[in-house]
Chain A
Amino acid sequence: MVNKVHRLLLPSVICALMFFSAASINAMDVDREYEFARGLVDQGLPDYAMRVLDRVLERHPDQRERVLLVRAEVRIAQRRFDDAEKLLAELPAGQPQAEAIRLAIGSGHARMGNIDRAREVYDEFFDRYEDRVPDDPDLLRVYQEATYEFGQLLERVGDLKGAAESYRRTIASELEEPGAERRLMTDLARLYLSIARDSSGNERDEFLDKSQEMAAEIQWGGQDLWFARSIPILAYVELERGNESRARSLIREHMETMRTIDRQLREQNFPMAQSPMATVRFLLGDLYERQFKEMREQGASEGDLLRVLQSALTEYYNVFARYGGSEWGPEAGIRGQALVDMLEEEYGRSVNIDFGELLGEAVQAQFRMGDDLFRQGRYDEAIREYLRMVNTYPEEEPSLRALSNLLLAYLRTGDDLHADMMVEYLAERFSGSDIAARAILAAANHYRTEVEDEEKYMAVYETYISHFPQHERAPRVMFDLARLKESESDIGGAHEFYQRIIETYPRHEFALRARFARAWAYYQVEDYEQAVEQFAGYVDEAPPGHDKVRAQYLLADSHRRAGEHREAISGYNQVIQWAGNPDSPYNARPEDAERNRPLLERANFYIGFGLGRISEPEDRVPDFRERAISAYDRFLGQYPESNLAPRAMFDKGQIQVGLGRSRDAAETFEELARTYPDSTEGQSALFALVDAAIENEMYDIARDAFQDMMASPEAYSPVEFTRVGQRMLDAGLFETVIPAYERVVDTTDDDGLLQRALFGLGQANIAQDRYDDAVDYLTRLFDQFPQTPFYYDAKFAKAEAHRGLGQYREAQNELRDILRFSDDAIRNQRAEYKVGLIQREAGEKDRALGTFVTIGLLMDPGNRDFRPIIEDSLIAAIELSMETERYDDVEELSEHYLNVFPRGGHVDFVREQRREGRRRAVAGGGGAS
């Protein structure tokens, strides 16, 4: 009774407890929802049950406690006991419903083999009922169920005294059904007997007495199944006391009753494992075996001995075959086999057991024997037993389980060779079997987690995959292997597994997951082309939900990162369409809607981003930019607190500058600085304006913005001032460069920035004809940083500064420094040319002419890089020759020029000089140099 009630008791008790504590409003509706939730658990849909409960709580917040309780039930059904306990911890202590569920957790732990945890739960409960039973009738039922289950648990772990005490409590709590009480009394009598066997001295006697008293009490209660079961208990008590004859008498006296009950049970199709004859016949076998041993010691004849042995074997094998499912079945088989072995070894007699019509049951029982040995961890014996059976019955119904256990037994005993053989055998012979598949998976897991032999477990997994491709766990196994490969950075290996999943199980949940995993891997290594393809494949297949939204977002993002802005915008729009509607199936679950929010935000941002970067067709670019501004405005309106808001405003400002809307840009950057002062963009707003203005050649704006920067220079870093200075320099806004770079020089200790600033100051001062200052800055540059990367450019600049000051010697010296250290032919040529110019300016015409002629005539005009300098040098030489009346040189140089630069920019000039030279030569003389 107790067992049958168990499965129904807990939910019905909880139901009853809940019903009477329910609020009246909509009580029936809510009760129906709880019933529905439980029904879903029974249907294998516990996650849906939780959704139902979430909705109940949403609509009826006052149902919080009940929802918690039912959630705990669901977790128990899912075997997530720790989660169930966390839920119960939220309830007030002492609540009957909560007590019932706590015990259900204990029961669940016990079923899962978490014995210690189960004991804790039960002990905690029983501590509250040390010497009493609950008054509440429902809780009493729970208490009774708990004491019984606890007793079973303790029996299982070998705490027989504890188990006995627990059964005693159950009996003492006055069970309603008489049958249940008598059954428990029988269990208790049996337990006392077992305790007595393991005890000695007074304690042993005490428990034998208790067993006898309990059995006698059962007998007083009437002649039924329990009466029959009490007989062998009493017989064993006598046996334990050494009264074999009394034990036999007891059995003989009641044998007819036993047979009657046994027959009745058989006629009623009662499970024969429950029949008392199992115990009685085993006892008889035991008695015969004892008799055999006594007779052997006393030197009885072989014939007598064999007769007794035969009797023992008859009893044992009857128990084994007829009552194989009873607690005595396997032991009877083991004992019988031991006697058979002994007969063969000691008496040379082989035994042929004819099971007759019981053959099927006997086969089952034999396999159970192996199972029993396996469960007890007696692997070597289990292997022997299994081998014997599978060689006799290779492909009977229980054979496959035996083969699977055989594989596990080989693994436990470290016999890898045989284990490998079993794997192959199971895979080849039983490729459609779930049992075989699971055994092979267990083997693979053993090699992975206990032996940690990668080669072995991969080989076993491959065997599994190739022979059980349709097994329900195959896709998951492949997916796990792919993840394993990824963790080992074997991306190619991972992709292979993903591909196999997709091809072999296209409609499976893991095919989708594989698609995503693969796409993500490509995304992470920045192979955006592949990422796009894979994400698109995922999006095509996935059902509505957050995962699909995320994949779509990443698809768009991959396009963006690959510079494909149109495709990216289209993708982001799809994200918005799916996730932007609160009623869409993509937001059906609250957690999905929550997770979609950040993607929605970013998608909105990147639409503006993309529109700001599309560059074709060119005539539509302004339109795209305007749309980008509108998109950013929408984004800023919807997400003013977003981390991307400063960036959006910054981008918007830059676009406005690009569109020539400078005033709007200025306002935008001002607003940026004001609204997001702590952001990077906000802090750089003015700088951004300067940068953008220069980029768009809006120099007045740039100057004004720079003035604003200089009004609060401490708000900007030396880096920014350096950048501004460089921008100004590149744009030719020299008057602005100087204060920018001076700021850097005054505030930085960064060598790189300082060098750039000093050089920039040199250049800017030269441009403004402030040669003294230029020389000073450049001198300081060389003094502080003799190896400066600006060396050659700074030398040119300093030469120019000296030239500006009329310091021609110094200027030439700077240029000769270049010629001394540089091995760059073009740079050197340029330096030479500059020397020529300075010589000319210094009035050293002959020397200048020599310099120019050297360059013009000796440098290779076939080298394209040299041609500009050669051309300029020739022109300068022709001019100087004319000035120094060297008309033959004019002729020669002109001729050379026209040959080398027949389409040069100075052809007309040169022809004119040649003509003039000839004219002057004819008119007044003059000659060659």
Chain B
Amino acid sequence: MITLSAKLKKVIWLMAAGLIVAGGHVYADRPYVVLPDGSRVEGTDIRARPNGEIILTEPRGTRTFAPGRYERAYAPRPDEFGEAQQLIRNERYDQAIEILEDLVRRYRHLEWDNRSMDLIARAQMGKGDHASAVGTYERLFSNTPRMRENRDILWSYHRAMLRAGQYDELEAKMNELISDGSRADAARAQIYRGDIKASRGLYEDAVLDYMRTVVLFKEQRDSQPEALFKAGEALEQLRDNRAREMFQRVVREFPDTRYAELARRKL
């Protein structure tokens, strides 16, 4: 149970200074519940029962929201979350994970469990434990299926699968996105499919996948430098001199991107 502690006071202060923005969501420093009709009920305190019931404290008293009677419930951002983020930036992954696991436990159903699991997975990837990261994401999706709709989280999950070598499952997902996903997702999925093929030593097939993004998804500018660069890398594996042209194009057409920097090193 969260009380109006020093932490909450700090959150309230921050609320007074403005809203906390993270991950595309606006996190107010007051707890609230979002109802199925989209309306929001704010409170002064919030807690959750293990069965998913939310108890929101309002000035007039407490209200209980049974599962199914609300869309989402938010608690104010815990300070530990920020600490965990900083630890991850400093590559102290195990410490971060420990903190985040605690947050998962304490903030179940209060949104920070989801955020914490995402961060746990990223920390696990940071330390190279990609298989665990995949497991964490699957746990997240199992707890909160709507998190699959968060593109950042979804692609982080895909990235974990790729690095964990779960090619067959990932390839099936990418095929789905390529045929039925948005154009942005399809462009990206093609790159991932190329990555899978490259990991299997099928470099020529990988070139084709990367080039599909280049040729057929030109408007997806975000994906272009990566696709071009990776096409170059695959060609390089095949000792194909056209690799150089690909790298030159990345530098020429997308000079300010990370891939341009990588391409410059190749050149």
Interface residues of A (CB under 8 A from B): 32, 35-36, 39-40, 42-45, 48, 51-52, 472, 507-509, 511-512, 542-544, 584-585, 588-589
Contact = CB atoms under 8 A, between A and B. Distances in A.
B172 interface: no
23 contacts: A36-B211, A36-B216, A39-B214, A39-B216, A42-B215, A43-B215, A45-B207, A45-B242, A48-B207, A48-B208, A48-B211, A51-B204, A52-B208, A507-B236, A509-B240, A511-B239, A512-B239, A542-B239, A543-B201, A544-B203, A584-B201, A585-B202, A588-B205
Given A36-B216, A44-B242, A588-B204, 13 more contacts: A39-B211, A43-B211, A45-B211, A48-B207, A52-B208, A508-B241, A509-B239, A509-B241, A512-B239, A543-B203, A543-B238, A544-B201, A588-B205
Contacts of B200: 585
A48 to B, nearest CB: 6
B212 interface: yes
Interface residues of B, number: 21
Nearest to A39: B215
Nearest to A42: B215
Contact of B215 (A36, A472, A542, A584): A36
Nearest to B201: A585
B96 to A, nearest CB: 38
A512 to B, nearest CB: 5
Contacts of B144: none
Contacts of A472: 241
A51 B202 contact: no
A543 B242 CA distance: 16
A43 B214 contact: yes
Contact of B202 (A32, A42, A508, A588): A588
In this complex, which of A45, A52, A508 has the most chain B Cβ atoms within 10 angstroms of its Cβ?
A45
B176 interface: no
Contacts of A32: 216
A40 B204 contact: no
B107 to A, nearest CB: 46
A35 B215 CA distance: 9
Interface of B: 200-205, 207-208, 211-212, 214-216, 236-242, 245
Contact of A543 (B212, B214, B237): B237
Contacts of A584: 201
Contacts of A588: 202, 204-205
B239 A543 contact: yes
Contacts, number: 57
Contacts of B237: 543
Contacts of B203: 543-544, 585
A584 B237 CA distance: 16
Contacts of A589: 204
Contact of B204 (A36, A44, A48): A48
A585 B207 CA distance: 14
Contacts of A42: 215
Q: Which 7 A-B pairs have the closest CB atoms?
A: A39-B215, A585-B201, A509-B239, A544-B201, A585-B202, A543-B238, A543-B237
Nearest to B245: A44
Nearest to B204: A588
A585 B196 CA distance: 12
A40 B215 contact: yes
A48 B212 CA distance: 11
A51 B241 contact: no
Contacts of B205: 588
A507 B240 CA distance: 10
Contacts of B245: 44
B210 to A, nearest CB: 11
In this complex, which of B205, B211, B237 has the most chain A Cβ atoms within 10 angstroms of its Cβ?
B211
Contacts of A48: 204, 207-208, 211
A48 B231 CA distance: 12
Nearest to B205: A588
Nearest to A513: B239
A543 B207 CA distance: 14
Nearest to A541: B239
A705 to B, nearest CB: 52
In this complex, which of A44, A511, A543 has the most chain B Cβ atoms within 10 angstroms of its Cβ?
A543
A52 B211 CA distance: 11
In this complex, which of B201, B203, B205, B207 has the most chain A Cβ atoms within 10 angstroms of its Cβ?
B201
Contacts of B239: 507-509, 511-512, 542-543
Nearest to A592: B204
Given A44-B242, A508-B241, A543-B238, A35 B216 contact: yes
Contacts of B202: 544, 585, 588
A588 B204 CA distance: 8
Contacts of B212: 36
Contacts of A35: 215-216
B124 to A, nearest CB: 30
B109 to A, nearest CB: 44
B179 to A, nearest CB: 9
A51 B212 CA distance: 13
Contacts of B211: 36, 39-40, 43, 45, 48
Contacts of B204: 48, 51, 588-589
B231 to A, nearest CB: 9
Contacts of B216: 32, 35-36, 39
A673 B242 CA distance: 56
A35 B214 CA distance: 12
B259 to A, nearest CB: 17
Nearest to A509: B239
A40 to B, nearest CB: 6
A820 to B, nearest CB: 76
In this complex, which of B200, B236, B239 has the most chain A Cβ atoms within 10 angstroms of its Cβ?
B239
A509 B202 CA distance: 18
Contacts of A509: 239-241
A362 B107 CA distance: 78
Contacts of B242: 44-45
Contacts of A543: 201, 203, 237-239
A180 B200 CA distance: 55
A767 to B, nearest CB: 68
Contacts of A36: 211-212, 215-216
Nearest to B203: A543
Nearest to A38: B215
A419 to B, nearest CB: 30
A355 B200 CA distance: 64
Contacts of A544: 201-203
Nearest to B218: A39
Contacts of B201: 543-544, 584-585
Contacts of A39: 211, 214-216
A56 to B, nearest CB: 12
A330 B245 CA distance: 36
A503 to B, nearest CB: 16
